[in-house]
Amino acid sequence: MDYEPISLIEPLMPAQGDRRLEDLAMELAAKSSALGSKLKPSVALAIRDLVRSMNCYYSNLIEGHNTHLRDIDRALVGDYSQNTQKRSLQLEAKAHIEVQRRIDLEGSSVNVVSADYIRGIHREFCSKLPEELLWVENPDTGDRREVIPGELRNQGVSVGRHIPPNAESVPRFLDRFAEVYRCDRLSRVQQVIAVAASHHRLLWIHPFLDGNGRVTRLLSHAYLKQIGIANSLWSVSRGLARQVGKYKSLLMAADQQRDHDFDGRGNLTAKGLQDFCEFFLEVCIDQVNFMESLIEPSELLNRMALYVEEEVRAGRLKKGSFALLQEALLAGEFGRGKAAYLTGYQDRQARTVLQSLLDAKLLISDSPKKPVRLGFPINVVERWFPKLYTNQE
């Protein structure tokens, strides 16, 4: 077998002591830890479901697959389009969300940078895709190859100007990847920087025939979660998609070989890796700040109040609705018997207001007798969370 030297992927981490990267890592850790601290757990869980769909939307958008929010929402309840292409994109979106949900629920003891874990993400994601999305075609030869879920590529590939390691060497590069990025071998600050560095280096290895971008972004989410940075209330994919040109150009720049004697001591450019890591961490911080501004309770309540006022005026919601929605946001949930007290209405009228909000899915409940909590139906997302989907139809 034609093995390539492991040194080709070095350096896997920026040089220690870089003040800019360390400051960004500490800022991200602090901001992410504080995000959502003002929200009740039940509200945070509902927003987490919304963010999964957002993460999927933007990750697919980076790959050129524009699956609109309403189509994603329908896919989650098994309502698929009759149009074959649109249905395939719906299934792709649902697969992404289901994989991220599993990542969000798994324990922290999993070694997310291991080859087995990375292959597991690919296997789970691709096994849920329709058959037509599991083929790749060589644009030069027209040769078509099937993508086997969880299987490392068995042929050479090119990604733009980058030629990833040959297929025989991929397992060895993944072993080196896992060795360097294991959490228990890194300081807290280095763990955060490693999320950014590993994002590029996994794409550089390009272990699969297809799906590498989505697997890498899902892995970054899993890595952030494992080190206690991600709390599922923000998405790096949104930030990367909004600067997709810069994202891809910095990825390509970090693919280059060392430029001169002051560009590190490895095969690849140390400056390119440092620049990408700075960009990645800045994007993460920007997205934490963005979500913090959206879910700050007083600001969210203001947007909710304006929405309810307009809906009441149009006759689509009943007076007294805002009092119930406000309680759901601030308290997390409330018993149905509290509706009369909150609205100031008689029991029967209060139950009517409550039921109208349940029918509109602005309030949700696990059963007809259980407490109610806040819901986020698709028709209020852009009003309550403006600019969450900047490319939404």
**Is pLDDT above 70 for 240?**
yes
Mean pLDDT to the nearest integer, 113-134: 96
Q: Given this model, what pLDDT does residue 123 score?
A: 98
- 151 — alpha (psi -120 to 50), left (phi > 0) or beta? beta
Number of domains in the chain: 2
Dihedral sign for Cα atoms in the order 213, 113, 96, 69: negative
**Is pLDDT above 90 for 291?**
yes
Confidence band for 160, pLDDT divided at 50, 70 and 90: confident
Taking a C-beta distance cutoff of 8 angstroms, is the pair 101, 221 a contact?
no
Domain assignment present for residue 1? The answer is no
What is the Cα–Cα distance from 294 to 292, expressed in whole angstroms? 5
Residue type, 159: V
Between β-strands 333-334 and 135-137, what pairing exists: parallel, antiparallel or unpaired?
unpaired
Residue 379: count of CB within 10 angstroms of its CB? 13
Q: Are residues 199 and 327 in the same domain?
A: no
**Is pLDDT above 80 for 230?**
no
**Is pLDDT above 70 for 393?**
no
Mean pLDDT to the nearest integer, 310-322: 96
Taking a C-beta distance cutoff of 8 angstroms, is the pair 122, 149 a contact?
yes
Mean pLDDT to the nearest integer, 190-216: 97
Q: Are residues 283 and 162 in the same domain?
A: yes
Q: Are residues 85 and 213 in the same domain?
A: yes
Confidence band for 314, pLDDT divided at 50, 70 and 90: very high
**Direct distance between the N- and C-terminal alpha carbons of the chain, in angstroms, rounded to an integer:** 50
Q: Are residues 250 and 272 in the same domain?
A: yes
**Is pLDDT above 50 for 20?**
yes
**Is pLDDT above 90 for 37?**
no
What is the average pLDDT score of the chain?
Answer: 93
Q: Are residues 161 and 310 in the same domain?
A: no
Mean pLDDT to the nearest integer, 270-279: 96
What is the Cα–Cα distance from 284 to 235, expressed in whole angstroms? 8
Cβ-proximal residues to 167 (8 Å cutoff; 6+ apart), any chain: 152, 153, 154, 155, 156
Pick 94 or 140 by higher pLDDT.
94
Cβ-proximal residues to 40 (8 Å cutoff; 6+ apart), any chain: 329, 330, 331, 332, 333
Q: Given this model, what pLDDT does residue 67 score?
A: 84
Q: Are residues 289 and 302 in the same domain?
A: no
What is the Cα–Cα distance from 170 to 125, expressed in whole angstroms? 20
What is the Cα–Cα distance from 271 to 258, expressed in whole angstroms? 8
CA-wise closest residue to 63 among 103, 95, 32:
95
Domain assignment present for residue 152? The answer is yes
What is the Cα–Cα distance from 197 to 273, expressed in whole angstroms? 7
**Is pLDDT above 60 for 75?**
yes
Taking a C-beta distance cutoff of 8 angstroms, is the pair 353, 324 a contact?
yes
* Domain-ending residue, one of 295, 326, 352: 295
Q: Is 364 helix (H, G, I), strand (E, B) or coil?
A: strand
Q: Are residues 195 and 206 in the same domain?
A: yes
Q: Are residues 196 and 345 in the same domain?
A: no
Q: Given this model, what pLDDT does residue 1 score?
A: 55
Q: Are residues 349 and 230 in the same domain?
A: no
Show the domain range for 81.
6-295
* Domain-ending residue, one of 295, 311, 340: 295
Domain assignment present for residue 348? The answer is yes
Mean pLDDT to the nearest integer, 71-84: 91
Q: Which residues pair with 257 in a beta bridge?
A: 268
Residue-wise burial string across 83-114, b where 16 or more C-beta atoms lie within 10 A, e elsewhere: eeebbbbbbbbbbbbbbbeebbeeeeeeebbb
Read off the tokens for 144: 């078509």
Domain assignment present for residue 389? The answer is no
- Regarding pTM above 0.85, the answer is yes
